[in-house]
Chains A and B, each alone.
Chain A
Amino acid sequence: MSTADALIARAARHSGRWLVLLAFTALAGAAAELLLPMALGRALDALTGTPVSGAAPNASVPAAVVFVAWLVALVVACDVLGVLASGVSGAEAAQWLRRRVTARVLAAGTTTTRRFTTGDLVTRAGVNVEEAARGPEAVVTAASLVIPSAGSVVALVLIDPLLGATLTAGLLVVLGVVRAFMHKTTVAASGYQEAQAEIAARLVGALAGARTIIAAGTQDQEVHRVLAPLPRLREHGLSLWRLHARAGVQAAVVIPLLETAVLAVGGLRLAGGHLSMGELLASARYAVLGAGLGSAVGYAGRLARARSAARRIDRLLAEPALPYGSRRPAEGRGRLELRRVSVRVNGSPLLSDVDLVVPGGCCVAVVGRSGSGKSSLAAVAGRLLDPDVGSVLLDGVPLPQIGREHLRRAIGYAFERPVLLGATLGDAIGFGLPPERRDGTSPGNGLPSSGGIGPGWRSAAGRVRAASQAACADAFIRLMPGGYGTPLSGAPMSGGQVQRVGLARAFAQAERVLILDDAMSSLDTVTERQVSRALTGSLAGRTRLIVTHRVATAARADQVVWLDGGRVRAHGTHESLWNDPDYRAVFQGAS
């Protein structure tokens, strides 16, 4: 059994008794359905007095009809319960799978996003889970469809071999038609999708140019421009319909013709005295049921889809989790130490043999051309990523040994393009605070706090506010429709404003170490200077690792680490490095 099949099996176990009920109803229903035509035929024969069973017609009338009634009741009950069981078992399995996917994505962290795009993850957690969760149901349903269809063919053969042959020949025609249709549709659909995509692309473009369009008052002109491919879309759409009409109708007419053919052959046998009236009725029903074999094949396709979906989910679940220890960081002021750290991606080195010590409370700037490994260094320093070789220590304790809560409270990150999460702006800034802090009920949880804690830093709300002020975000947040309570979705912000909120989030969170990964690149000079002032003022107690392109930022740092090709090229004060023309050139190409 492959791991994907095992995953489906485990998901099935989580739908528990519902799947058992589904299997039971499906099998019972299938059996009842298979018996029904025969019972109908018997009842008809008994009622119309055809001597088949040899019993006196009048005596067997109620019994035969009652049997049909019981079968019908069973079919209906199985149908209703089966629909319920299939829906609920699928829901349970999907829920279990989704929880696992979520947990794994979160545990694996940033390595997941390197390998899977957002759209891919959404597909895996959405459609793929849905398909995989339907795997067990597909097995049961396929079985329950195969039983009556295959059984019908057998029943037909038993009634009369000629009837069985008629049906089998017809079925082959149906399958051929369906296959031909699938092929033609995929070809025709692409033209349609292209026209559709073009309209979407034009609309996206127009929306991006919103300001220009509003100012120029060219909305009507734009609507025409965006909709220009519409006639082409309709043309492709109609040709798809024509194709569909041809193939769909071919498939639809086959089943009734099949039934008629069986009736004709059966009629001849009736005339010859080989078949009773009831058997003829049963044959017609069995022909229709047998034709359902086509949809049973469709279910086999669904099972194949479930398996491939499970494989896709399984690949995601195979991502290794980032393990955390349970230690607290030792007493200290946030001394960071990188020992012979190397990071590789797909074999190519991003960082090689980096040794670096950042004394507690020190401000270190990391500079270098793009691609020199600055962001990798930042990621490793706060354990967004574990190095492939070497180790990183915070106040003497290797990062993997520190518990997640303690590690994240100690180290805060701000990014060039922060993704803001949370319900409101205030919530987004407090996103890195422990829950009891975020809602402001119990400040302080025993974690040692380093310097720079003014009176405003005690409560959660105060912390958020003070951090926002330090990041120069407080003023514009108060201009928002609901201030700090403005929902994130209703707070349109420029790139610079988003960066400032991201900085505030890091300031509020970090107890010991602040890592700024090009986090001030979109700030104008004045704002950047104000934030820098806070970094050397109210935030000065914390260790600061600042990735930057700007000379001014490097000049203000206590130390500069100059990266080149993933290695530390030099390490020293900005003044001492400035004499090197290569160092000066680092800032030339920056934009």
Chain B
Amino acid sequence: MRGAAGGLLRRALLREPRVIVRLAAWSVAEVVPAFAAGHAVARAIDEGFAAGRPVTGLAWLGVLAAGWLVAAVAARQILLGIAAVVEPFRDDLLTHVVSRAVSGLGAGPVVDSGAGSGVLGGGDTSAVARMNHQVELARDALAAIITVVRSFVFTLAGVALGMATLAPAVLPLVLTPVLLGLVSFLASLPALARRQRGFIVADEHVSASVAAMAEGLRDVVACGAEPRVAAAVGRDVAAQARAARALARVTAARTLALALGGWLPILLLLGATPWLLGRGVTAGVVLGSLTYVMQSLTPALAGLVQGLGVSGVRLAVTLDRILGGAVPYEVAGPRRPPEGAGLELRGVAFAYGPAAEPVIDGLDLVVPEGEHLAVVGPSGIGKSTLAGLVAGVLRPSEGAVTIGGVPAAEAEERSRALIPQEAYVFRAVLVDNLTYLAPDATEAEVDEAVAVFGLAGVAERYGSHTVIDPAELSAGERQLIALARTYLSPARLVVLDEATCHLDPAAEARAEAAFAARGGTLIVVAHRISSAARARRVLVMDGSRVRLGTHEELTAASPLYADLVGHWAGRQPLSAGPVAQDADLPRRPQPA
């Protein structure tokens, strides 16, 4: 983690050495006034105003003003140089965040049904928004750090050089306290960082617990749990206040360090003035030295203390947030094309954790190529887990799942396709969504798929140029797009995991028929019993046992299946036209 942060920072700084060189060159130009100020003021007074030659005095001040203008131009170039460093840094961070979120998707357990899945949760919007915010914070913090460190280093060098040429005797009087202040500040930095981190974390805890309270308010009231929740939120609030007080204490200590480096040189200069005058230093030179300290050095030191104290810590904390907590995910090995689309499960067991009871235990199943299999059973029994195992999304804890002789997790992705309940449609034109798994599909093939799945309406609505906003589509339309996309794909093993649950029964029947006619192996996790009736064979999952057979065999042999058929279908014969959209059909005769 540390290494990752270091690597990113190094890369940001060393990506283009030219930028850094330019930055340094402009920094030299920027400290011209820091270098010139003392000289100019000293000369303006000693040779000009105090000597009765005001024009000379004005000329020297003109030189100083010109110096400031040069510095202004330099400052502009420096800011652009910093932008050239931190903008790519932001891009790196964003790329990192997105890659990890997307590539790491396979790492966490993907559980039953489309709702809430994966390590980052099923589209946790607020987590994404927070991440975006953190990236911005990190960029701004890096920019601030580069600004203050650079400014301090060059200002210090400029001032030191200026004073060395003006009156070398003054140099130790100024530099010693500045360095002392700097050292004591750097010594306090780790404590400051800890406190600041503590405060940021406490603040996030409060936000999270207030959000949880607000979101669950109805439930809190219904449970009469107000005192408990108030106490819980109160604990987080108190912890935040503690963190804020601790932060205030170390910030006060930091202020002391700044005072040491900023004010002590002035007192020392004043105290040593008689001695300096005795060594031939003029009054103008003393004023010039004071100008150096008050105008350039103290502000630069204050900037450094403030900048490092706040931005440095913020950068560390946000980078930690962005890069930390990474779930290491396995890099997939080389994928192999399976020989055929036959499926075999041998002694397969799967549990969602070492302490959890297995969802699937000792499952043996052979699905020959070209089979059309339906999987039925009560919710939560492991149907989606089975779909995930078959599609290679999950790895069995025991036993083996093979597709065409190749372990499912090693089989080429294009050889199989899984459509989950929550259809994935992304912001792009319809054709891009449809050819997602088949980039080479011809226009005629796409048109055919559009026709087969009844997407003509959607195609007409959006045309070929309008980007689809998935939220505008109905759940059923999204499922149709996912189905058509998979239909176009080269996959020979297709798993529909309740992929038609938002379609009306007629459209569902049409979709399943299209896949059955398409060839290859088809596995349908059934949402309605009618799906099972269409399949050649049915797998009934009932906790500890599974049963495999035809619809008729199982109706006779499996009490659970008979029960399911009874409840899904009511007294109506299965073939009697479209059924209502609800899975739960009335058990009474319906009005026509």
Contact = CB atoms under 8 A, between A and B. Distances in A.
A185 interface: no
A230 B422 contact: no
B94 A227 contact: yes
Contacts of B356: 478-483
A267 B51 CA distance: 11
A93 B106 CA distance: 46
Contact of B590 (A92, A225, A238, A584): A584
Nearest to B382: A479
A295 interface: no
Interface stretch (B225-233, B337-345, B447-455): B225-233
B123 A207 contact: yes
Interface in A334-384: 382, 384
A246 B113 contact: no
B187 to A, nearest CB: 17
Contacts of B295: 256, 259, 288
A69 B259 CA distance: 12
A45 B512 CA distance: 98
A590 B226 contact: no
A72 B266 contact: yes
Interface stretch (A146-154, A279-287, A452-460, A462-470): A279-287
Interface in B514-565: 543, 560, 563-564
Nearest to B359: A479
Interface string B497-522: 10000000000000000000000000
Interface string B86-112: 011011001100110111011001111
B218 interface: yes
B113 A494 contact: yes
A72 B222 contact: no
A125 interface: yes
A118 B71 CA distance: 48
Interface stretch (A1-9, A213-221, A392-400): A213-221
Given A524-B378, A527-B379, A241 B582 contact: no
A441 interface: no
B392 interface: yes
A555 B76 CA distance: 78
Interface string A576-591: 0010010010011011
A47 B277 contact: yes
Nearest to A110: B218
B221 A249 contact: no
Contact of B581 (A80, A206, A215, A591): A591
Contacts of A405: 224
Nearest to B580: A588
B114 interface: yes
Instruction: Pick the most buried of B111, B222, B252, B586: most chain A CB atoms within 10 A of its CB.
Output: B222
Interface in B412-446: 413-414, 416-420, 422-428, 436-437
B54 interface: yes
B54 A267 contact: yes
A564 interface: no
Contacts of B80: 241-242, 245
Interface string B286-326: 11001100110000000000000000000000000000000
A91 interface: yes
B45 A118 contact: no
B587 A494 contact: no
Contacts of A50: 283
B132 interface: yes
B169 interface: no
Interface string B561-592: 00110011000000000001111101110110
A47 B248 CA distance: 40
A267 B49 contact: yes
Interface residues of A, number: 157
Contact of B105 (A210, A226, A249, A475): A210
A122 B391 contact: no
Interface stretch (B12-20, B347-355, B364-372, B396-404): B347-355
Contacts of B90: 234, 237
B216 interface: yes
B255 A219 contact: no
Given A212-B424, A382-B222, A551-B586, A435 B228 contact: yes
Contacts of A87: 244-245, 247-249, 251-252
A489 B120 CA distance: 11
Describe A's contact surface by its main secondary structure: helix
B110 A214 contact: yes
Given A271-B57, A280-B287, A407 B587 contact: no
Nearest to B88: A234
Contacts of A222: 102
Contact of B583 (A76, A246, A486, A525): A525
Contacts of B463: none
Contact of B274 (A61, A125, A493): A61
Contact of A95 (B115, B240, B287, B582): B240
Interface in A68-87: 68-69, 72, 75-76, 79-81, 83-84, 86-87
B341 to A, nearest CB: 15
Nearest to A273: B52
A54 to B, nearest CB: 18
A268 interface: yes
Interface string B192-214: 00000000000100110011111
A432 B225 contact: yes
Nearest to A281: B287
Given A61-B274, A241-B87, A527-B378, A200 B102 contact: no
A95 B132 contact: no
A439 to B, nearest CB: 12
Contacts of A190: none
Contacts of B423: 212
Contacts of B482: 212
A102 B122 contact: no
B158 interface: no
Given A248-B79, A271-B49, A408 B223 contact: yes
A529 to B, nearest CB: 7
A10 interface: no
A268 B50 CA distance: 9
A302 interface: no
A483 B355 CA distance: 8
Contacts of B457: none
A530 B393 CA distance: 32
B83 interface: yes
Interface string A269-310: 011000001001100110010000000000000000000000
B206 A98 contact: yes
Interface stretch (A166-174, A412-420, A534-542): A412-420
A256 B68 contact: yes
A270 B216 contact: no
A225 B426 contact: yes
Contacts of A492: 109, 111, 116-117, 121
Contact of B564 (A122, A217, A525): A525
A264 B61 contact: yes
Nearest to A240: B83
A105 interface: yes
Contact of B391 (A69, A215, A288): A215
Nearest to B283: A48
B191 interface: no
B256 interface: yes
A257 interface: yes
Contacts of A435: 228
A29 B294 CA distance: 18
Q: Which 9 A-B pairs have the closest CB atoms?
A: A87-B248, A481-B353, A408-B224, A209-B424, A217-B413, A208-B123, A91-B244, A215-B418, A419-B216
Given A48-B277, A271-B50, 8 more contacts: A83-B251, A87-B247, A102-B234, A227-B95, A267-B45, A271-B48, A271-B52, A284-B291
15 contacts: A47-B286, A79-B259, A88-B244, A98-B237, A109-B218, A113-B218, A212-B420, A256-B33, A264-B57, A268-B57, A384-B222, A404-B224, A418-B219, A494-B112, A581-B591
